[in-house]
Structure 1
Amino acid sequence: MSEWQLLQRRVDVAAPPSQGRMKRTKGRVRSTALVALLLLSLPLAFLAALLIRTYTFEPAAGRQPPTRGAALAANFTPADRKQMLGALQGAVRIPTVSRSPTDFNVSALQQFGRYLPKVFPTVFSSSFVHHEIIANYSHLFTIFGSNSTLAPYILTAHLDVVPAIKEEWEVPPFSAEVRDGYLYGRGTLDDKLSAMGILQGLELLLKRGYKPRRSFYIGFGHDEEIGGNNGARNIASVLKSRGVEIAFLLDEGSSIFDGIIPGLGKQVAMIATSEKSSATIGLSVTALSGHASIPPKETSIGILAAAVSKLERNPMPRMFGQGPERGLFEHLTPQLPFPMNVVMANLWLFAPLVSRMMEKKPSTNSLVRTTTAVTEFHAGIKSNVIASSAKATVNFRLHPAHKLEELLQQIRQIISDERVKIKVLKSSPPIPMSSYEDDAFGYQVIKETIGNIFPEVIVTPGLCTASTDTRHYQNLTSELYRFVPMILKEEDIFRLHGVNERISVRNYEDVVRFYFRFIQNSDCQCSTRL
């Protein structure tokens, strides 16, 4: 066999394996292309799923309540409006200040009790209304309806206010001065507008001959700002002792927010279905005292100041999405523009992103986590004496998912100094979330009435970031709601317990309209559960 033939044979023999390798190579190429296609299609499919959920998303209890025509329209005459404003001004001028359980203005509370019959004579003379004083300074009104088969409800508010430093205000805090369409004064937002609005609405209804069908109660506590342990607690105890069963409660605690929710151009009426609990924590340090000319390396004040600084620089962990605030943003989803609607419809994925965005503003940061506020610091007796002790008070408002035991452990870890003694001075237990489903009578009546008076406003459930008197009524009903239809912009948030507290005259008229309509809407014999 020639060399050429041998070479040809070798080529022929080698040919089949080469073809096999080519086939295997082609197979691997096809497999790689298929994997790449799958990898590329997965994000697209994921994005499609997000978009489908966004544009088909419907929050729970999203049905609009039925709109009924009111028996009496909330149209007020100039004389009505003048009387309404004058009544609120008179209430604001009475300085019902509460500083502590042992320091509150008794004479002002007594004066307020004498003031109410003067401005609401029809309420106090009506055969449908029974009024009584509870715990010396609080007020309980029983309004008798004609249909005893309808479960009653209760409207609550409080009469006391926090102190105000006159020098810090543009106008005297108890002058009730009207300036540029706003009524200034302590209590115009928290919470005399609610108390006066409720009675004003009832006064106008009774003057127009309205006869309530559903019985209801009005309870005004006198010490909410210092815990409500005498006012609201005793009102609730009296009702409980009489065997009263309540369908729902409506108190202060939330409002209509204007420009506060990021990415939303509309006003939002948030009905708070729960509230934050609170814990007041005392921090104390004891160290050697002495002459200021021979100071130690660290003083009691320095040690405590460092601990307080650590707490302020290390906020509590974000817990957004683990409480009733989730319902708030789910309800807002259909109103938000792209891509915010995609984010809010898919909080299971984007909750961390949303919480980081919200924590940038104090008004929304409080929805994200347990907040930390250093409220008191006491130390020192003289400028040239080193203080032997220092004390501070820190107020925490707990997110509903945050337990007190967890909070205390985190405080110890953050401070990380055994010289700082930590003590729970006061705490309140968490409040269960009330229903906002389509068959929740109280929630739906509130929602309907908001729609009657503020038709352009979005209504959502939400979380009250402060504490209210509602916790004292838990033995009467599980349906506890917090809402007053005052309109708050970002700047107004800081007027609550701050300086230059005010409400627009027009907004107060709408507050009265709200209660005027609410009492009528509550008279319905609805199919929703009671």
Structure 2
Amino acid sequence: MGRWKMILLIVGIFLLIFAIVTVSRTFMTESRQPEPMKTEVTIDEDKAIRHFSEALTFKTISYQDRNAFDYPEFERFIDFLEDTYPAVHQQLEVERVNDYALIYKWSGSESGKKPIGLTSHYDVVPVLEGTEANWEQSPFSGTVIDGEIWGRGTLDDKIGVIGILEAAEHLLEDGYAPKRDVYFMFGFDEEIGGDEGAAAIVDLLEERGVSFDFVLDEGGAIVENMVPGVEQPVGVVGVSEKGSATAELTISGSGGHSSQPKDHTNIGRVASAIAKLENTQFNADLRGPGETLFEFAAPEMSFGMRYVFANKFIFEPIIESILLKQPATAALIRTTIAPTVFQAGEQYNALPEQATAIINLRVMPGESLEDVKKFIEETIDDDEISVSVSGSEATSVSSTDSWQFQTIQQAARNVYSDAVMVPYLMFAGSDAKHYDRIADNTYRFLPVLITSEDLTRMHGTNEHVSIDNYLNAIAFYMEVMKESDRK
């Protein structure tokens, strides 16, 4: 046999082995989706819709300036809850924290089991001044029209508060009694950090020695056309949230007249530093919740995409390069850099004596604020620019192999039987981060099927939700409580 034939034979054997191994791995990927157990939930839909509609009329608005809060409106909302859900308020222990945060304790029959917690918030963001006329329905009207419920809070996050209480009221009327303690915890300042709401609730419960098997908050939702190769809707359950850091880059020095500038001015130095950061970027790595997302999604993909993700150890560089092409997927695999404020100068013909840039960074789990500061300093390589970094670290990563995660998966599949439920890394902040201290696991999931346009409406104009989504949210919360009792 000639030398080249031998080489071709060896290459052919290698390719055959490669194909056998990689194709076998592809076919061996098993679905991680529980079988749906369809349940029939019969509730008074008209009454539930009326309750939600009225809840949306209360202007429980969070402002950065707490002095601007209309606290009597918050008080009226709490009175509304008491009037609307009599069974909940008669049979559960109800407690206020800092006057407006709420804790409901539903005592279970088996004291040896750790409790679960369902949490949401009833404060909403303001309607941007000057945009009121752009709303098709008034933002605090609670209008119900053409199968949709309109108003601020329909998606973020009065749907969670009302959905949970509707579920509990219905279960109580049916005579249901949980085995484990169930806590409902509702904040009133989540939109500005939750320091007096969720954080204060956690402080109080921690003092009492209360800890949870899991806490479920708002977060990811069910979205169509989200994961390449998956035709079904994909529900994403946040198992961690990125840290949020603010980096301040400042340089000070002599100003002077703009007619005699130095080659590198204060503005130019800081601008150059930002350019270096944007050109360098943090290292991308498909790991943690981002990696787990695709492990759960891969078995549901078309063959070609399943082949790639089932053999990630070979194709990881290609996968990462694809994910980096879109901001939403790039944020899954690296700490992000977003310059948001630049402050310098007061007059067109005078060089500023100081220039400052403010950068918002969303920090990956496994990276610290100290790591962020070190990266910035090494990347900009300018000793005259001072760098300060403050903010919150990424939260811990909750389990995806436990009964706790499977409970949420199962509950969602019971309501949305065709949805593929996967873990993911949440980019935005939520009250869940406060519960990290007293919960073995914290999950983030809003049980609605939404579009990419809905995502822009959460803090924007024309926020609304379909009646079907709202009723499904109620059913989901009932399923979560019942599924938890099976563990």
- Relative distance call for 1:44 and 1:450 in structure 2 (3 A) is same
| Residue number in structure 2 paired with 1:117 | 82
Identity level (%) = 33
Distance 1:174 1:294 in 2: 57
Does 2:42 align with 1:80?
no
User: Is 1:435 matched up with 2:399?
Assistant: yes
Indicate the residue corresponding to 2:359 in structure 1. Answer: 394
Map Cα deviations across residues 162-187 of structure 1 (whole Å, 9 max, x no partner). Answer: 44413346215444455654444433
Shift of 1:211: 3.1
Q: CA deviation at 1:154?
A: 0.6
Matched, 1:371 2:336: yes
1:30 Cα deviation (Å)? Answer: 4.6
Task: Tell me the distance in 2 between the aligned counterparts of 1:296 and 1:31.
Answer: 67
Partner deviation per Cα, 1:422-446 (whole Å, 9 max, x = no partner): 1113232x32322222xx2321221
The 1-side partners of 2:93 and 2:123 are apart by 22
Equivalent position of 2:101 in the other structure: 138
Q: Which amino acid aligns with 1:83?
A: R
Distance 2:269 2:400 in 1: 47
Aligned partner letter, 2:216: L
The answer to whether the 8 Å contact 2:147/2:467 transfers is: yes
Corresponding residue of 1:192: 158
Distance 1:305 1:55, change over 3 A: same
> Does the Cα contact within 8 Å between 1:434 and 1:481 map onto a contact in 2?
yes
**Judging changes above 3 Å, is the alpha-carbon distance between structure 1 residues 104 and 298 closer, same or farther for their aligned structure 2 residues?**
farther
Aligned residue for 1:286? 252
Structure-2 change in CA distance of 1:167 and 1:152 (3 Å) = same
Residue 250 of structure 1 aligns to a residue whose secondary structure is: strand
CA–CA distance in 1 between the matches of 2:76 and 2:293? 41
Return the match for 1:272 from 223, 232, 238: 238
SS of residue in 2 equivalent to 1:262? coil
Distance 1:389 1:158 in 2: 41
Structure 2 letter corresponding to 1:392: A
**Residue type at the aligned position of 2:405:** Y
In the alignment, the residues of structure 2 paired with residue 77 and residue 484 of structure 1 have an alpha-carbon distance, to the nearest angstrom, of: 22
Q: List aligned pairs for 1:91-106, cutoff 5 A.
A: 93-99=58-64, 106=71
Q: Which moved more, 1:298-307 or 1:186-195?
A: 298-307
For the pair shown, which has the larger CA radius of gyration, 1 or 2?
1
- 1:249 — aligned with what? 215
Aligned counterpart, 2:307: 342
Q: Deviations over 1:191-210 (max 9, x none)?
A: 22212211122123223443
Aligned alpha-carbon RMSD (Å)? 2.9
Distance 1:103 1:353, change over 3 A: farther
Q: How far apart are the structure 1 equivalents of 2:356 and 2:71?
A: 30
Determine if contact 1:173/1:185 at 8 Å carries over to the other structure: yes
1:423 counterpart (365, 381, 388): 388
State how far apart, in whole Å, the 2-side matches of 1:204 and 1:310 are: 57
The one-letter code of the counterpart of 2:17 is A
Residue ranges of structure 2 left out of the alignment (5+ in a row): none
Supply the distance in 2 between the matched residues of 1:449 and 1:65 (Cα, whole angstroms). Answer: 10
Question: Gaps spanning 5+ residues in structure 1: where?
Answer: 1-28
TM-score (norm 1): 0.82
d(CA) in 2 for partners of 1:416, 1:301: 16
Number of aligned residues:
484
Q: Does 1:224 align with 2:187?
A: no
Contact 1:310–1:415 under 8 Å retained in 2: yes
Match of 1:47 among 1, 5, 19: 19
Write the letter of the residue equivalent to 2:18.
F
Q: Distance in 1 between matches of 2:56 and 2:273?
A: 44
Report the alpha carbon displacement of residue 297 of structure 1 after superposing the two structures with TM.
Answer: 5.9
> Which residue pairs with 1:4 in the alignment?
none
Change (3 A) 1:285 1:173: farther
The offset of 1:399, in angstroms, is: 1.8
Deviations 1:28-82 (A, max 9, x none): x4555333301222022102211110011236xx262684x76xx4223342343
Per the TM alignment, residue 449 of structure 1 is displaced from its structure 2 partner at its CA by 0.9
Aligned to 1:481: 443
Distance 1:405 1:270, change over 3 A: same
Instruction: Report the more deviating stretch, 468-477 or 457-466.
Output: 468-477
Partner of 2:219, secondary structure, is coil
Cα distance, 1:103 vs structure 2: 6.5
Partner of 1:37: 9
Give 2:251's aligned amino acid.
Answer: V
Report if aligned partners of 1:275, 1:464 keep a CA contact under 8 Å in 2: yes
Query: Which residue in 2 is equivalent to 1:412?
Result: 377
Separation in structure 2 between the aligned mates of residue 179 and residue 374 of structure 1, nearest angstrom: 41
